[in-house]
A and B are shown apart, each in its own frame.
Chain A
Amino acid sequence: MQVTMTVNGAEVTADIEPRLLLVHFLRDHLGLTGTHWGCDTSNCGTCVVWLDGEPVKSCTVLTAMAGGHEVRTVEDLERDGELDPVQQGFIQCHGLQCGFCTPGMMMTTRALLDRNPNPSEDEIREAISGQICRCTGYSTIVRSVQWAAAHDGDREGTVPAGSTS
């Protein structure tokens, strides 16, 4: 079947098997390998991307379901050569080690901060509770999110018009 969607701001049309999972479409067909495949059962969250601005687990979304919608992946966080404060926060606060869960964690974080610019620690933990990190023990991820929240304001005006963030 043919499917058309917007991925990171660009329209994409492809012939796919109806059963193709969005995570495999992004990775294997579009080469957007920042989104990872970790568990098959929606437990680990390494595959989190945005579908119309909402974080979803792309291992349990059919590519066909994304047809006509907007998908945003980790590759779109950096804009005009400038890292998103969330990306900077993860670097500054050692919010990653092996890096495998990181793209999903950052996509959830960006969505959280867009809705709640000053989340409490409990709210941050709740927001990322559908995702697993095996390396960091989460404290540094929490601090990374807090760092991003504190620095989000620095970036106002630099986000291109039409950005979903």
Chain B
Amino acid sequence: MTVTEPTATPEFVDNDQKPVGHGRMLRKEDPRFVRGLGKYVDDIQLPGMLHLAILRSPLAHARIVSIDTSAAEAHPKVKAVVTGAALAEQNLAWMPTLSNDVQAVLATDKVRFQGQEVAFVVAEDRYSARDALELIDVEYEELEPVIDVRRALADDAPVIRDDLENKANNHCFDWETGDATATEAVFDSADVIVSEDIVYPRVHPAPMETCGCVADYERVDGKLTLWCTSQAPHAHRTVYALVAGLPEHKIRIIAPDIGGGFGNKVPIYPGYVCSIVASLVTGKPVKWMEDRTENLVSTGFARDYVMRGEIAATKDGKILAIRTNVLADHGAFNGTAAPIKYPAGFFGVFTGSYDLQAAYCKMTAVYTNKAPGGVAYACSFRITEAVYLVERIVDCLAYELDMDPAELRLRNLIKPDQFPYETRTGWVYDSGNYEPAMRKAMEMAGYDELRREQAEKRDRGELMGIGVSFFTEAVGAGPRKDMDILGLGMADGCELRVHPTGKAVVRLSVKTQGQGHETTYAQIVAEEIGIPPADIEVVHGDTDNTPFGLGTYGSRSTPVSGAAAALVARKVRDKAQIIASGMLEVSVADLEWVKGSFQVKGDPTSAVTIQDIAMRAHGAGDLPEGIEGALEAQVCYNPENLTYPFGAYICVVDVDPGTGQVKVRRFVAVDDCGTRINPMIIEGQVHGGLTDGVGMALMEIVAFDEEGNCLGGSLMDYLIPTALEVPDWETGHTVTPSPHHPIGAKGVGESATVGSPPAIVNAVVDALKPYRIRHADMPLTPSRVWDAMQGRPTPPI
């Protein structure tokens, strides 16, 4: 079923008009946030709490000759100074990464990137801790760094990971997907082949709240409580249990309010481990909060793929095959947070939204002297890179064929009757109806009129560009037979309790970082069980008080945990129906569910509300035979497939021919995320992702100089869009439900971050068509656009 709804206009419906279920409901979390009463990690103050600060390497690659901590230890407010050597004595100097590599908690032998953790200080206050860092004297022996990813595998490249046994080069892993032979055959016989080198530079999620934690180890009962900026508190707890040997029931992870995550808060960082050690050593609660530079130079970056894209087509524009070769920069440690069988994340969906005959990807990943990471910044496990590659190379094909890029896409989109559609790389797209989304975006944008305007402006020497992208996402990891992180299956639990008076509490394994779970999950449960959202408390982010599950990233909350919430509510409703049959003295089959009540079929006057049933479930009266008291249930949802949201985006830019400055004049985004729970929240998620896209396409890059100094280490250097760089977003939608999700929802948190960068770059390149430019790499800063206009489009790295 596909329903194309009218474009939503900004309207602010109050809660009373749709008190139950899906709809544009105002957020339950906002009243505390607007009062300044959010509770973030750095807001936590515990009696006797100490402060931790981390000494970081100023060099990208160097051997540690000696560390003298005596002056720091002599500081009157310092309680402890710990180096890698001290951690090594406890076997804690190294920790596993989420990709089964290891990462230094504190460096023992060498430092391998600028900003790497070398030592930490615990002091009575945050300023003294920082002061004491200045008193630590480290002697380094500088080594040649590996910065240029293209040189990482050169014979004479210094070996970064000499900590690994028999490691004689900087090779990290190889990976391939698709059919090389079949793809080559299609390319050999194709009318047209277009190749382009396409770089997706290193960027950073940079949430407004940096990473940090408060560790509190209670010596007597042996319980560790860690308030932490974590998107995945349950996964973190298990990893700490496995790594540190702490019994899992004595670890409680609390992720309080999180000031944005975007994947930056999935990994376990050395700072968290240091804080736990510090609390163990001092017997006091210990707080660690990064500053902005630490966040930018040391925590999970995103992208850093150097790609060669190739596309084969007929001369009339039928796309036949896509092939790509990728060189992936994973930094000094492979800290990629992705399902373990997917070292390149879900990059395999680089075949995009098109019906191809063949596809093939070969990837080589390498170590360099840069910070670890790779999967972050709302990338849906590397789908940002995949969508950018395919949507850029399709535009290159349009350029060579001199075809309209929207028309070329319309000719090649997968047709509705082809779903479920298995791609040439083995992904089964659950549902889709692509053409109406594309047509709708074109209609909203006034595509034909825009092309006419562009032609007139070109005649006058003005540079106007129109960029199109069409994306398919793969979200909701994932089926546990295929997907795990460090052996943990990617399922999610949900628990629902209805109290005697008919109010309810729902407990989630996932954790909002701004997505509005406290509202949308109340709505999901309300829709199923008829209790108003205002009467449903959503509990999340506390491992002692929520069921196990793998957390919020990869747009997986709604596809996985949202499904669990719907199913647990149905389970409770099924029990309620049995209780109702006893109350109404009819058989279960004679009852029907009418929003909030069970009624005797054909007799609306004989009904009991869910609240009546809840009281009976807890009351003194008899219950039907075999039915236990209380009204509650728990489920663990294992998705049978990923869900595949999609969308069509159109961007309009103006480029100043005198400066190369790009202005994004308009942006039209039509998203299809299946069943929509709260349209207000969906639009907000889309707006945020589109802004990410402007950032990546035009402004953001984490660059390095030849010595490995990070050139994006503050918000003065790492440029993030403000209100002046972005237009007023124009959003629309179609609705194609997922066939396997209980309510048909697909997830939307990362769609716009994934889909928007190619639309913007395509628009800029389109604007530069008079200069005969087919491709220019991000970020399209004025100087880089200017270089392109002068015929010198340089890669950014």
Contact = CB atoms under 8 A, between A and B. Distances in A.
Interface stretch (B94-102, B511-519, B562-570): B511-519
A136 B687 contact: yes
A41 B714 contact: yes
A11 interface: no
A140 interface: yes
A145 B516 CA distance: 21
Interface stretch (B254-262, B322-330, B436-444): B254-262
A51 interface: no
Nearest to B31: A91
Given A139-B729, A141-B723, A98 B27 contact: no
Given A36-B40, A37-B42, A129-B724, A100 B293 contact: no
Contact of A41 (B10, B683, B716): B716
B723 A28 contact: no
A132 B722 contact: yes
B295 to A, nearest CB: 9
Given A44-B715, A100-B260, A137 B688 contact: yes
Contacts of B516: 97
Contact of B715 (A34, A39, A106, A147): A39
Contacts of A91: 26-27, 30-31, 34
A134 B260 contact: yes
Given A40-B291, A141-B723, A142-B728, A75 B35 contact: yes
Nearest to B12: A92
Contacts of B289: 37
B107 to A, nearest CB: 24
Contacts of B724: 125-126, 129
B208 A46 contact: yes
Contacts of B514: 97-99, 135
Contacts of A39: 292, 714-715
A136 B36 contact: no
B688 A135 contact: yes
A99 B681 contact: no
B771 interface: no
Contacts of B726: 137-139
Interface in B655-713: 680-681, 683-691
**Among A33, A106, A128, A143, which residue has the most Cβ atoms of chain B within 10 A?**
A33
B209 interface: yes
A121 interface: yes
B513 A43 contact: no
B307 interface: no
Nearest to B38: A99
B259 A143 contact: no
A32 B36 contact: yes
A106 B34 contact: yes
A40 B293 contact: yes
B557 to A, nearest CB: 14
B33 A134 contact: no
A137 B32 CA distance: 21
B684 A135 contact: yes
Chain B, interface residues (CB within 8 Å), range: 35 or more
A8 to B, nearest CB: 11
B308 to A, nearest CB: 32
A55 to B, nearest CB: 15
Given A92-B12, A102-B33, A40 B515 contact: no
Contacts of A126: 723-724
Nearest to B690: A137
A52 interface: no
Contact of A35 (B36, B126, B515): B36
Contacts of A99: 29-30, 32-34, 38, 257, 259, 514
A133 B208 contact: yes
A33 B513 CA distance: 18
A78 B720 contact: no
Given A39-B715, A143-B10, A19 B127 contact: yes
Interface string B580-614: 00000000000000000000000000000000000
B155 interface: no
A58 interface: no
Given A125-B723, A138-B723, A96 B36 contact: no
**Do most interface residues of chain A lie in helix, strand or loop, or is the interface mixed?**
loop
A74 B26 contact: no
Contacts of A106: 34
B164 interface: no
Interface string B177-218: 000000000000000000000000000011111100000000
Interface string B37-57: 111101101000000000000
**Among A20, A38, A46, which residue has the most Cβ atoms of chain B within 10 A?**
A38
Nearest to A122: B724
A100 B43 CA distance: 12
Contacts of A101: 208
**Among B208, B289, B684, B714, which residue has the most Cβ atoms of chain A within 10 A?**
B208
Interface string B512-532: 011110000000000000000
Nearest to B678: A94
A34 B38 CA distance: 7
A106 B34 CA distance: 8
Given A37-B42, A99-B514, A102-B33, A137 B729 contact: yes
A96 B515 contact: no
Contacts of A124: 723
A36 to B, nearest CB: 7
A133 B39 CA distance: 18
Nearest to B296: A39
A1 B93 CA distance: 41
A142 B40 CA distance: 25
B670 to A, nearest CB: 16
Contacts of B687: 136-140
A140 B209 CA distance: 20
B34 A102 contact: yes
A93 interface: yes
A65 to B, nearest CB: 17
Interface string A11-34: 000000101100010011001111
Nearest to B680: A94
A132 B684 contact: no
Given A87-B35, A132-B722, 14 more contacts: A27-B42, A34-B37, A36-B208, A38-B292, A44-B292, A94-B684, A97-B514, A97-B516, A99-B33, A100-B38, A125-B724, A129-B723, A132-B715, A138-B722
A-B pairs, 5 with minimum CB distance: A34-B36, A98-B514, A100-B259, A137-B687, A99-B33
Interface of A: 17, 19-20, 24, 27-28, 31-41, 43-44, 46, 73-75, 77-78, 83, 87, 90-94, 96-103, 106, 121, 124-126, 128-143, 147
23 contacts: A33-B42, A34-B38, A41-B292, A91-B26, A91-B30, A97-B260, A98-B257, A98-B259, A98-B260, A99-B32, A99-B257, A99-B514, A100-B40, A100-B208, A100-B209, A100-B259, A129-B722, A133-B208, A134-B206, A134-B260, A137-B686, A139-B729, A140-B683
